C-alpha cells in the first residue's frame, strides 16, 4: 500500500458502536418477554418521557428503520412495492415512510421475523409526513394502538422565547398524562431527570465531536459519521448511548486530532454535503477518497442529533450540557422545560423548515468554519424536509465562490439513483472543476 500524507486508522470504538446498535433492535423485539413495553416514534420524539416510565420500555424510531431498509436495495424495493402496489401509496412520498409501511403490510421485520407490533405510539410533528406516518402505521397494524403526537413547529431557534418553550412544555405534560393512562405505569421523576440529562449529553457531545472535524486533517469522514450519529436518533436519552458519546467517541476523536490521525490519509480537498445520502450506495463517498477528497459533514449530519448555539462572533458552537451550565434538575417542571428548551433552541436542523435564508446562513457558516473547499449536494427526492431550498443553497454557496456539484437521487429508493452517472459526475467535478488527480493505489 502506498504511503499516505497523514496517519490513518479505524476508530477503536467502532466495535462498541456495532454492538450497541445490534442490541437496540434485539431488545425491542424481546422486551415483552421480560414484561417490557414497546413504543414507536420518530427520531426527534421526546424519548426521555416514555423512557422515564416504570419498568422496561423499548423504542423503535421510524427514520433509522427506514434508512436501514434503504441500505439494502432488495429489501427496500420489496417493502416499497408492497406499499405502492398492495396499499396504493404514492411514489413521491417519503422513502423511509414507504419502506416502513410496506414492512408492516408484509408483516416482516428487516432484522428477521414478523413485524413486532408496539404498545403505543409517541410522535412529534415537524416534517409534513411525521404525524400521519405513524398514525397510518398504527392503522395498518390493526388500528388499536394508542397514539399521541406533539406539535413542535414553534419557530426557528433564534426566535425561541418563554412563550414557545411554554407551548411545548404544556404538551409534554399532556404526553405524560397519555403515557400513564395508556400504560398503567407512572413516570419516575428521578428517572426522568436522568433521561433529560442523558438527552443533553448525547446531543451536546455529538456536537463536540463534529466540532473537532474542523481540524486538518479531519478525524472523521461523513460515511463513518452516519453510523455514529445513529444513537441520538434511536434513543438519545439512553444511558449507554450518552456514555458512548461522552466517554468513548468524543475522547477518541479528540485524541485523533491531537495526533493528526486522519479519516482520509491523503486529505487534499474538503467537501461539504447536504441531505441524507443514498443509503444503498455509500460507496460513492469512498470513491471520492481516491482523489484525496473527504466529506467532513453537513448541516444534516451535525444537527440531526447535535445541538448548537451561535456565539457572539456568529460561529457555531456546541450547546452546553447541563453539567457545563451548572444545572441540577430538581423537579418535573424543570426537567420538562429544559427538555423543551434544548430541542427548540439547539436543534438547528429544524430551522430549514422556516425558509431558505435560514438554511443558507447556517450552511455558509459551516462551509467557512470547517474549512471546506467545495460542496456536493444530493438532490434527494426521498425527503422533502431535508431537501428543501437546495437550489437556493447552491446559488448561495456559488456566490461565496464555492464550487458546487449536485447529483439526483433518493435516500432510500434505488429506483431513483443512477450510480454510474453519479460516479462520472464525481470524476468530472473533482478533475475538471477542482483540478484534482486520482491518487495511486
Query: Both ends of the chain: CA-CA distance in Å?
Result: 7
Q: What is the mean pLDDT of residues 341-363?
A: 95
pLDDT at residue 92, rounded to an integer: 92
Which of 65-69, 89-93, 385-389 ranks highest by mean pLDDT?
65-69
Summarised one tens digit per residue, pLDDT across range 27-69 is 999 999 999 999 999 999 999 999 999 999 999 999 999 999 9
Proportion of the chain above pLDDT 90, given as a percent: 95
Q: Residue 298 pLDDT > 90, yes or no?
A: yes
Cα separation, 180 vs 50, in Å, equals 9
CB 350 within 8 A of CB 306: no
Q: How many helices (H) and strands (E) does the chain have?
A: 18, 12
Q: Across residues 293-310, what is the average pLDDT?
A: 98
Place of cell 421475523: 113
pTM over cut 0.95 = yes
> What per-residue confidence (pLDDT) applies to 130?
85
pLDDT at position 277 is 97
CA distances from 65 to 24, 157, 279, 289, 302 (A): 11, 28, 12, 28, 20
Dump pLDDT digits (tens) for 136-186: 999 998 888 999 999 999 999 999 999 999 999 999 999 999 999 999 999
Which range, of 82-91, 104-113, 251-260, averages the lowest pLDDT?
A: 82-91
pLDDT number for residue 2: 63
Question: Roughly what angle, to the nearest 10 degrees, separates helices 130-141 and 95-105?
Answer: 10
Residue 134 banded pLDDT, cuts 50, 70, 90:
very high
pLDDT, mean of residues 343-362: 95
- CA separation for the pair 322, 14 (Å, rounded): 27
- What is residue 143's predicted lDDT score, i.e. its pLDDT? 82
Residue that the C-alpha cell 416510565 belongs to: 53
pLDDT at 142: 84
- Least confident range from 21-35, 85-99, 269-283: namely 85-99
Across 226-246, average pLDDT: 98
For residue 311, pLDDT over 60 is answered with yes
At 249, the pLDDT band (50, 70, 90 cuts) reads very high
* pLDDT given at position 160: 97
Mean residue pLDDT of the chain comes to 96
* Non-local CB neighbours of 346 within 8 Å, separated by 6+ positions: 157, 203, 306, 307, 308, 309, 319
For residue 3, pLDDT beyond 90: no
Residue 1: pLDDT above 60?
Answer: no
- Give the pLDDT score at 108: 97
Q: How confident is the model at residue 102 (pLDDT cuts 50, 70, 90)?
A: very high
For residue 436, give the H/E element and its range: none
Is the separation of the CB atoms in 233 and 65 below 8 Å? no
pLDDT average, residue stretch 274-285 = 96
User: DSSP state, 440?
Assistant: P
What pLDDT is attached to residue 441? 64
Amino acid at each position: 500500500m502506498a504511503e499516505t500524507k497523514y496517519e490513518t486508522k479505524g476508530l477503536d470504538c467502532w466495535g462498541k458502536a456495532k454492538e450497541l446498535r445490534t442490541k437496540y433492535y434485539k431488545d425491542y423485539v424481546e422486551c415483552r418477554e421480560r414484561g417490557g413495553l414497546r413504543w414507536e416514534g420518530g427520531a426527534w420524539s421526546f424519548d426521555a418521557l416514555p423512557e422515564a416510565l416504570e419498568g422496561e420500555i423499548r423504542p423503535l424510531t421510524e427514520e433509522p428503520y427506514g434508512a436501514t431498509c434503504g441500505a439494502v436495495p432488495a429489501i427496500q424495493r420489496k417493502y416499497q412495492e408492497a406499499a405502492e402496489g398492495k396499499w396504493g401509496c404514492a411514489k413521491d412520498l417519503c422513502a423511509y415512510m414507504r419502506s416502513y409501511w410496506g414492512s408492516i403490510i408484509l408483516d416482516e421485520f428487516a432484522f428477521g421475523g414478523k413485524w413486532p407490533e408496539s404498545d403505543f405510539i409517541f410522535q412529534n410533528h415537524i416534517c409534513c409526513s411525521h404525524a400521519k406516518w405513524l398514525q397510518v402505521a398504527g392503522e395498518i397494524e390493526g388500528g388499536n394502538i394508542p397514539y399521541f403526537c406533539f406539535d413542535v413547529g414553534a419557530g426557528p431557534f433564534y426566535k425561541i422565547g418563554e412563550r414557545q418553550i411554554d407551548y411545548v412544555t404544556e404538551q409534554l405534560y399532556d404526553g405524560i398524562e397519555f403515557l400513564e393512562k395508556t400504560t398503567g405505569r407512572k413516570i419516575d421523576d428521578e428517572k426522568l431527570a436522568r433521561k433529560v440529562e442523558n438527552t443533553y449529553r448525547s446531543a451536546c457531545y455529538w456536537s463536540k465531536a463534529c466540532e473537532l472535524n474542523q481540524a486538518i486533517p479531519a478525524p472523521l469522514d461523513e460515511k463513518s459519521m452516519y453510523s455514529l450519529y445513529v444513537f441520538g436518533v434511536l434513543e438519545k436519552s439512553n444511558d449507554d448511548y450518552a456514555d458512548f458519546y461522552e466517554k468513548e467517541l468524543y475522547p477518541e476523536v479528540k485524541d485523533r486530532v491531537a495526533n493528526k490521525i486522519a479519516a482520509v490519509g491523503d486529505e487534499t480537498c474538503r467537501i461539504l454535503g447536504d441531505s441524507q445520502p443514498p443509503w444503498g450506495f455509500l460507496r460513492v463517498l469512498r470513491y471520492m477518497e481516491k482523489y484525496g477528497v473527504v466529506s467532513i459533514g453537513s448541516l444534516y449530519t451535525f444537527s440531526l442529533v447535535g445541538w448548537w448555539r451561535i456565539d457572539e462572533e456568529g460561529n457555531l458552537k456546541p450547546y452546553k450540557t447541563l453539567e457545563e451550565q451548572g444545572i441540577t434538575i430538581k423537579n418535573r417542571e424543570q426537567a420538562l422545560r429544559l427538555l423543551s428548551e434544548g430541542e427548540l433552541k439547539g436543534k438547528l436542523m429544524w430551522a430549514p423548515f422556516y425558509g431558505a435564508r435560514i438554511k443558507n446562513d447556517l450552511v455558509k457558516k459551516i462551509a467557512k468554519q470547517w474549512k471546506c473547499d467545495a460542496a456536493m449536494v444530493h438532490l434527494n427526492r426521498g425527503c422533502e424536509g431535508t431537501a428543501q431550498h437546495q437550489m437556493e443553497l447552491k446559488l448561495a454557496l456559488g456566490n461565496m465562490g464555492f464550487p458546487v456539484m449536485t447529483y439526483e437521487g433518493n435516500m432510500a429508493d434505488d429506483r431513483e439513483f443512477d450510480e454510474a452517472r453519479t460516479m462520472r459526475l464525481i470524476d468530472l467535478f473533482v478533475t475538471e472543476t477542482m483540478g484534482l488527480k486520482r491518487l495511486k493505489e
